[in-house]
Structure 1
Amino acid sequence: MPKIVATHEVDDVAHWLASPKREEVFAGIGANIRTYVLPGGANRVAVTMDVEDLAAFEAKMKSDAGAAAMKYDGVRPSTVVLYVEG
């Protein structure tokens, strides 16, 4: 089960950290979801999760539910960078 690391910018770090959307959207796709923030007040954050089915993960990211979750969380979509454990 590879680990996914996603880095991106958000509008409000505290809101992003408190959001239930990650768990809601990735339930059944991602496990061991963890959040990270860049110290110093920057709006750069990261999330990691173990993903069993990469195709399902990618489909969820491109889905309406994925887009709605990113909007709710204040994610700046153009800043998302995904890394897959190699």
Structure 2
Amino acid sequence: MIHIIATHEVDDVEHWFTSPLRKELFEPRGIKATAFRDPEGNSTLTAVLIEAPDMETFQRILAEPKSQEAAASDGVRLDTLKVFVAN
């Protein structure tokens, strides 16, 4: 099991934060994703704490068309995506 923190900006924080797509995409594959946002609502920067079996599984899922569709639907600005991994 690895722990990943991913940050990115979104178009609409409330829409992204409450969207069920993250759970629908990751949970059936054994990945837990916990969403975070600025509690004061002053930023479009968001974060996700991800617990995945391994980095390869996570990267494979991100590369799937379904992931790209979910990101677009949730207003994720993929050009701002940063990924951090705990060793």
The answer to whether the superposition gives a TM-score over 0.5 is yes
Ranges in structure 2 where 5+ consecutive residues have no aligned partner: none
Matched residues, percent identical?
Answer: 34
Greater strand share, 1 or 2?
2
Compute the RMSD of aligned alpha carbons. Answer: 1.2
Deviation of 1:18 (Å):
0.7
What's the counterpart of residue 55 of structure 1?
56
Is the CA contact (8 Å cut-off) linking 1:29 and 1:57 kept in structure 2? no
Distance 2:42 2:57 in 1: 33
Deviation of 1:6 (Å):
0.4
Ranges in structure 1 where 5+ consecutive residues have no aligned partner: none
Q: Is 2:8 aligned against 1:4?
A: no
Is the CA contact (8 Å cut-off) linking 1:30 and 1:52 kept in structure 2? yes
Q: TM-score when scaled to structure 1?
A: 0.91
After the TM superposition, which parts of structure 1 deviate over 4 Å for at least 4 consecutive aligned residues? none
Deviation of 1:29 (Å):
3.7
Q: TM-score when scaled to structure 2?
A: 0.90
